[in-house]
Amino acid sequence: MRTTSLIPVACLCGLILAESSSAGEEEFDLAEIEFMDPGKIHPVGTDALVWDPASHASVNRALSVPLPRTIPKGYLQYVIEHRARTPIDDDPVDNFLGFDGGNVKIGFGLTYGLMDNLEVGVYRINGTVERFDTYQFSGKLHALRETDHRLDLAVLGGGTVFTIDDEEDDSGGFGSLLLGRSFSKYLYVSAGGLFHSNSSSFDKTGNDEEDSTSVLGSVTAHLFPSLMLSGEFSVPVDGYEANTTAWAGGVKFETHGHTFSLVLGNTQYTSLDGLAAGTSFDSDEIVFGFSITRAFELGGG
């Protein structure tokens, strides 16, 4: 276990739980209760992820790391992600910030809100140096909501299928417990654990352990109605562990039903099998990427 890497994770978890406990002990004056519009899931001005649900996207992920939130019932969300393999400082003009260097990872996913607190999704990411493409099938239950319990808590689980041309496919399962909360209208912090029975890394071999367990975390700073800064990490703590902690940071532009993020990080792997293992990149290998989400109401909301 990487004890030094776990220090910020322990601080995040302790901060979230301590603030939630102390908030639950406060005494409330009935005269100070503000009655909210029942049609809005999150009260305006208290949710650091969505300041105005009527005109901005529902946020259920930091950059690639999942948050303990789900998209609203009846909505379909797609996500498109690109991560370069060539470091951003390796001849950035000729390599176009790494995207012309080859082996670009492209992720595409669809998520549907079955209920106000339950979403299902499928996510696909291409193989590059690997012989397989990855298909991730997931369900996420938003068990506790911050507006009711001063803490978001979600359970995420599902399976992964690795498709290999002319060979038998492989598979694995995963589970995650996620928690988070707003500390003001500007700051949201999340942390959680992730287990995957068949993790991925471009340095992983058949002699390595199949499963990986990691600790996830993220911090989102909401600066303006349409601008956020996000940072995320995944620290492998058991099973197969790649070279180091996976991290990413970026700026997220948010409009009605849509987000666009510019990302710098030390991993190409945006699916959970890759995040669980950390990253095989060296500490000085920083790659560029972007992420797009868009949600549409299909009815039933």
Greatest distance between any 2 Cα atoms in the chain: 69
The rounded distance, in Å, linking the Cα atoms of 189 and 66 is 12
What's the token pair of residue 221? Answer: 């700073």
Q: What are the angstrom distances between the C-alpha of 108 and each of 126, 136, 202?
A: 9, 10, 20
Look up the pTM and report it. 0.83
The rounded distance, in Å, linking the Cα atoms of 109 and 75 is 14
Range of the domain at 123: 3-24+58-297
In a domain, 270, yes or no: yes
In this prediction, residue 300 carries a pLDDT of 46
Give per-residue pLDDT as tens, 221-277.
999 989 999 999 999 999 999 989 999 999 999 988 899 999 999 999 999 999 999
At 16, the pLDDT band (50, 70, 90 cuts) reads low
In a domain, 144, yes or no: yes
- CATH number, domain of 69, equals 2.40.160.40
Give per-residue pLDDT as tens, 120-135.
999 999 999 888 999 9
In a domain, 69, yes or no: yes
DSSP for 69-81, written as a single string: --PPTTEEEEEEE
In a domain, 53, yes or no: no
Give per-residue pLDDT as tens, 35-88.
333 334 444 458 899 888 777 778 999 999 999 999 999 999 999 999 999 999
In a domain, 52, yes or no: no
Q: What's the total number of domains in the chain?
A: 1
The rounded distance, in Å, linking the Cα atoms of 126 and 116 is 31
